Chain A
């Protein structure tokens, strides 16, 4: 079957039109209509930018709530709804309900899907039972359930068209990420980095649900899908590029989970995503670079074969997952137009690469407090080209097992987690929700048991010394690697941003505010406190000639776990007072979609 499909792609366009390739054109075209929101990140480039400008920096202050919708689920609500024509599709955390809502008929529920899932999957989901959203293609809505079942639902009726099992929760594999439809395939990653899974990106046939290809994050070449043309920083990766960087069979429980977002460039025919931390969190137990964990992957969506890879954090010592979104933009650097990929990593560095070749152009700290590295070696002739210089004071590997390394910034939450940033072609700036948190980290020996947590480090988190705010919302110039403006937030900003042609940028806060700021200056223009803390992503759409802005609230996720009680104050025993506010004093559980618009006049 796979050979047949591959042959079809090499054939004529006419042959393609018969197969699922039409789904590609469909989603690509639909994503260019600003009235809809058909891809989790807004478009294939993951810009989270909308051309809608009815709501703009002049009038956004008059925004008001148009309607609300309770999801009936209490857990952390990540992601956001899809909007296609008059229909809106809202997903929830476990039990992973999907509601299809008719926006032109009093927001009536047209159909509802609720799978039966074994509740034993709940505790295998590190850090809450979140789900980051749905995908659309070929008349179907795709959902990656907690138990790793990928389901295809008829968009009109909610009827199950097919389902496929993407992993085994018994081994700690779970589903939290949003799929992405590319041409005739549905791409989906897997969670379980804290359970020692061998993580992968998998492509399913959009019509049948059969596996087309599966590329692992670590393992033999035929499992990670690299060939003699695959490069890292311009050079071929060579044979056994992953195996050589693990001791023995450790790659089999090596992690590198793929629970973040996927981007796609139709012209270059490449998909982009990041792999997460190597398992365990104890670096002493897994000597080597642990490739290709912590890596930006560029793969051919038809075959899965990697064109290039770039490992950001070789031999991770801090849980700096590399899964955050890859934002594709076309900008001019040094007088030359470049096809760029920009990525804000958990490790606190903002990377800009050439997305065709994987050439590293910029790697700079997007939080000035980042202190584990003095920066990335940008000298192409250096033997350590492309590697971050790890400072001894922050090296948990150097300190060794049973030694507590203090004051590492960022914390394991990263300077930014999965909450996606936005990019506006109008300002050529990235709008980045960030965490401003540091940690103590003490690795120790652990043993692996299938389906059980495989962590191996003790950590405690707190704001950077002398500061009491735990987050910033920043504007970033990806060409130079510089912060343009930065707004302090009391808590980590854990909500995906939205940039619009109206010169407005939206984001949510953990206390529950939806905020609108001026795209050029960062000046706050509007805020409204929704029923619960926001870890969802802001979305916009147009219906009946009116622009709406929608966001899921419902506190939870790792933010809800780490911050509910407030961070640990390392000096509490000495009687110091700081701004270690408990999130639980500001908000409580509960999933609600809040939709905003301008008043009638």
Chain B
């Protein structure tokens, strides 16, 4: 379950081979299964990876630590995505999760109603997938693809709903 064989290469990625094969109209790259993924060219990244970096370091890092590396409080998402699929990721972020036992009391809130997170699920996933596969390091992405009109339209309508 941990290692998903894909194209003969074992990758530790809950959603399989992260190689980007096509780009949709919002500038989002997809793998061959149709899951969102990153596209990194040297120092430059796609818009989703950049946007995900920013959103992560606003709403997620206060528990999960800088750069997806985890903290004394919450797990390292850089590692979580090695076993967690895209669908599971969406489910946990939207609905939250509880891990309460005599030894641990870890609770993640549901972010489904928080547009600052819910409208950027794919951005966060793509950034963390890049971190998980070591396609992007700890630094802030410098160069990046621009935000396009289709993305902006989606973003406005999502953020405007609330």
In the complex, 14 of the A-B residue pairs with CB atoms within 8 angstroms, ordered by the A residue number, are A123-B108, A127-B62, A440-B140, A449-B116, A456-B58, A555-B72, A556-B72, A564-B71, A565-B65, A565-B67, A565-B69, A568-B139, A569-B139, A570-B139
B54 touches A123 (CB 8 A): no
Query: Contact: B66 with A460, CB < 8 Å?
Result: yes
Min C-beta distance of B87 to chain A, whole Å: 22
Counting CB contacts under 8 A, is A194 at the interface? yes
Whether B115 contacts A449 by the Cβ 8 Å rule is: yes
- Cβ proximity bits A116-132 to B, threshold 8 Å, 1 near / 0 not: 00011011101111000
Q: Within the complex, what minimum Cβ distance (angstroms) separates B120 from chain A?
A: 11
Is there an interface contact between B62 and A126, defined as CB atoms closer than 8 Å?
A: yes
Residues of B contacting A449 with CB < 8 Å?
113-116, 162
Structural contact, A565 and B109, CB atoms closer than 8 A:
no
Whether, in the assembled complex, B9 has its beta carbon less than 8 Å from a beta carbon of chain A, the answer is no
Q: Does B63 contact A (CB under 8 A)?
A: yes
Interface residues of B in 37-93 (CB under 8 A from A): 43, 53-55, 57-59, 61-63, 65-67, 69-74, 76
Q: Which of B10-18, B28-36, B96-104 contacts A (4 or more CB under 8 A)?
A: B96-104
Interface residues of A in 533-563 (CB under 8 A from B): 555-556, 560-562
Query: Which residue of B69, B73, B107 contacts A119 across the interface (Cβ within 8 Å)?
Result: B107
Q: How far is the CB of A462 from chain B (nearest CB, A)?
A: 10
* Listed residue (B72, B109, B139) with the most chain A CB atoms within 10 angstroms of its CB: B72
Q: Give the CA-CA distance A459 to B59 in the complex, in Å.
A: 11
- Residues of A contacting B67 in the complex (Cβ-Cβ under 8 angstroms): 460, 565, 568
A122 contacts B107, C-beta separation under 8 Å = yes
Instruction: List the 9 closest A-B pairs by CB distance, nearest first.
Output: A560-B72, A565-B69, A123-B109, A561-B71, A452-B114, A122-B107, A458-B57, A458-B54, A564-B71
Q: Is A573 an interface residue (CB 8 A)?
A: yes
Whether the pair B109, A457 counts as a contact (CB closer than 8 A) is no
A600 to B68, CA, bound (A): 50
Indicate if A94 sits at the interface (CB-CB under 8 A).
Answer: yes
Inter-chain contacts of B125 with A (CB < 8 A): none
Given contacts A449-B113, A572-B137, A444 and B66 within 8 Å (CB-CB)? no
Instruction: Find the residue from B65, B70, B142 having the highest chain A CB count within 10 A.
Output: B65
Point out the residues of chain A lying under 8 angstroms from B103, CB to CB: 74
Residues of B near A94 (CB, < 8 A) are 105
Chain B residue nearest in CB terms to A569: B138
Counting chain B CB atoms within 10 Å of each CB, which of A194, A404, A573 scores highest?
A: A573
Verify A568–B162 contact, CB threshold 8 A. no
Q: How far is the CA of A53 from the CA of B103 in the complex (A)?
A: 40
* Chain A residues in 8 Å Cβ range of B139: 568-570, 572-573
Q: B138–A458 contact, CB under 8 A?
A: no
Give chain A nearest CB distance to B99 CB in angstroms: 10
Q: Mark A329-351, 1 if CB is under 8 A from B, else 0.
A: 00000000000000000000000
State whether the Cβ of A274 lies closer than 8 Å to any Cβ in chain B.
no
Cα-based distance from A555 to B73 in the complex (angstroms): 10
A455-B58, A561-B65 are known; give 18 further A-B pairs, CB within 8 A: A74-B104, A76-B72, A122-B105, A122-B107, A123-B96, A404-B140, A446-B116, A449-B113, A449-B115, A449-B162, A452-B113, A458-B54, A458-B57, A556-B73, A564-B70, A565-B67, A565-B76, A572-B138
Contacts from B to A (Cβ < 8 Å): 43, 53-55, 57-59, 61-63, 65-67, 69-74, 76, 96, 98, 100, 103-109, 111, 113-117, 137-140, 142, 159, 162
A589 at the interface (CB under 8 A from B): yes
User: In chain B, what residue has the closest Cβ to A127?
Assistant: B62
Assess whether B70 is in contact with A119, with CB atoms less than 8 Å apart.
Answer: no
Q: Report A-chain residues with C-beta under 8 Å of the C-beta of B111.
A: 452
Check A560 against B162 for contact (C-beta < 8 Å): no
- Chain A residues lying within 8 Å of B63, measured Cβ to Cβ, are 123, 127, 561
A442: Cβ under 8 A from any B Cβ: yes
Best-buried of B98, B116, B139 by chain A (most CB within 10 Å): B116
> A residues within 8 A CB of B115?
447, 449
CB proximity of A550 to chain B, nearest CB, Å:
22
Once A447-B159, A460-B140 are accepted as A-B contacts, the answer to whether A561 and B105 lie under 8 Å apart by CB is: no
Q: B59, A453: Cβ atoms under 8 Å? A: yes
Report if A75 contacts B (CB, 8 A).
yes
Q: Is A95 an interface residue (CB 8 A)?
A: yes
| CB-defined contacts of A505 to chain B, threshold 8 Å | none
A524 to chain B, nearest CB (A): 26
Nearest A residue to B100 via CB reads: A119
| Closest B residue to A560 using CB positions | B72
Cβ of B74 to closest chain A Cβ, rounded Å = 8
Q: Once bound together, how far apart are the Cα atoms of A194 and B70, in whole Å?
A: 20
Bound Cα distance from A128 to B62, whole angstroms: 9
Chain B min CB distance to A519 (Å): 32
Shortest distance between the CB of A592 and any CB in chain B (Å):
15
Bound-state Cα–Cα, A444 to B59, Å? 12
Please give, as numbers and ranges, the residues of chain B lying within 8 Å of A126 by CB-CB distance: 62
Q: With a CB–CB cut-off of 8 A, which chain B residues contact A565?
A: 65-67, 69-71, 76
**Chain A neighbourhood of B58, CB < 8 A:** 281, 444, 446, 455-458
Across the interface, name the chain B residue whose C-beta is closest to A532.
B72
Which residue of A456, A564, A589 is within 8 Å of B65 (Cβ)?
Answer: A564
Residue numbers in B under 8 Å from A446 (CB-CB): 58, 116
Residue in B closest to A556 when the chains form the complex, CB atoms: B72
A444 to B120: give the CA distance in the assembly, Å. 13
